[in-house]
Amino acid sequence: MQKEIESLFERIVHARHCVALTGAGVSTLSGIRDFRGKNGLYNDMDAEKIFDLDYFMQDPSFYYRMSGEFIYNLDAKEASVVHTVLGELENRGFVKAVITQNIDLLHQKGGSRHVIEVHGSPRLHYCLHCAGIRMPFEEAAAIVKNGELPRCPKCNRVLKPAITFFGESLPMDALREATEEAQNADLMLVLGTSLTVQPAASLPLYTIRKGGSIVIVNNMPTSLDAQASMHFDDLGEVFEGIKRFLAAKGENK
């Protein structure tokens, strides 16, 4: 395995334009449950209802009640080795962008600066009825932790996070930028995603069609396993290995 990880590291270092596509699996190492894994949220709750726009309109308290632990308690979560290594790879110029389906802000916490959030972000909360009403994540999180709901100062309706719910379109600017990065990439790291949610799941195909290659690190099968040039199961093991090679490369400068 060590030789395979070293080979992957060399591919990352020598890539012309390496990007990463990440899913919920990269955050399980930070103690955040994924959706479809063996211990995922889908196993013991109606997770889709949490992010259903129609249901939010009927009962917004359900979203805040059910998502409080894994969204509004993020200050208690530390960036995993995947997040921090991706941040360091970007800092050294080896990774150009992180395209993420996640909404936990841990890539930023891990040091990544060019993060494209294709499923939106809780960084802002806004009123669905009053134009211009915005509340930052930190303020909303403090209200939710206090057992209350963030409300519009004008109409008193509950604010919605800028996360893309079922029934909403993805943020077009983010999707456009993600597509451009995928097309420019000669190497895409597909990390911790089962590639089941569209259109993000199709992004690796842009890389492949432009002549690039993909490397998949995921503990469940994906629809693109047969087209991956390398495949690993254990994110933690792979990124601990990359971390060691990064440290050695820094020492040998």
CATH code assigned at 216:
3.40.50.1220
Residue 36 has pLDDT above 90, yes or no: no
CATH at residue 139: 3.30.1600.10
Same domain, 72 and 85: no
Confidence of residue 33 (pLDDT cuts 50, 70, 90): low
Helices (H) and strands (E) in the chain, counts: 10, 9
Q: What is the pLDDT of residue 249?
A: 76
Greater model confidence, 85 or 219: 85
| 47: pLDDT strictly greater than 70 | no
Catalytic residues: 119
- Confidence at residue 168, expressed as pLDDT on a 0 to 100 scale: 87
Token output for 242:
């990359």
Structural domain tally of the chain?
2
Tell me the residue range of the domain where 41 lies: 35-76+122-163
Same domain, 67 and 26: no
pTM equals 0.89
Do residues 99 and 192 share a domain?
yes
Check whether residue 198 and residue 138 sit in a common domain: no
Query: Do 107 and 175 belong to one domain?
Result: yes
| Residues 228 and 130 both lie in one domain | no
Name the DSSP letter for residue 222: -
Judge if 52 and 155 occupy the same domain.
yes
Phi/psi-derived region of residue 23, left when phi > 0, alpha when psi is between -120 and 50, beta in every other case: beta
Q: In the prediction, which pLDDT does 35 show?
A: 57
- pLDDT exceeds cutoff 80 at 32: no
Residue 251 has pLDDT above 80, yes or no: no
Q: What is the pLDDT of residue 12?
A: 97
Task: Kindly report the average pLDDT of the chain as a whole number.
Answer: 90
Query: What stretch of H or E contains 125?
Result: strand 120-126
Asked if residue 251 and residue 209 are part of one domain, the reply reads yes
One domain for residues 209 and 86: yes
Q: Which of the four pLDDT bands, split at 50, 70 and 90, describes residue 69? A: confident
Note the helical H segments in 34-95: 47-50, 53-58, 60-67, 81-91
pLDDT (average), residues 236-244 = 95
Dihedral-angle region of residue 145 (phi above 0 means left; psi in -120 to 50 means alpha; beta otherwise): alpha
Residues 95 and 202 in one domain: yes
Say yes or no: 91 and 65 in one domain.
no
Q: Which of 34-48, 125-139, 149-163 has the lowest mean pLDDT?
A: 34-48
| Same domain, yes or no: 88 and 144 | no
* Average of per-residue pLDDT across 151-162: 96
In percent, the amount of the chain with pLDDT more than 90 equals 72
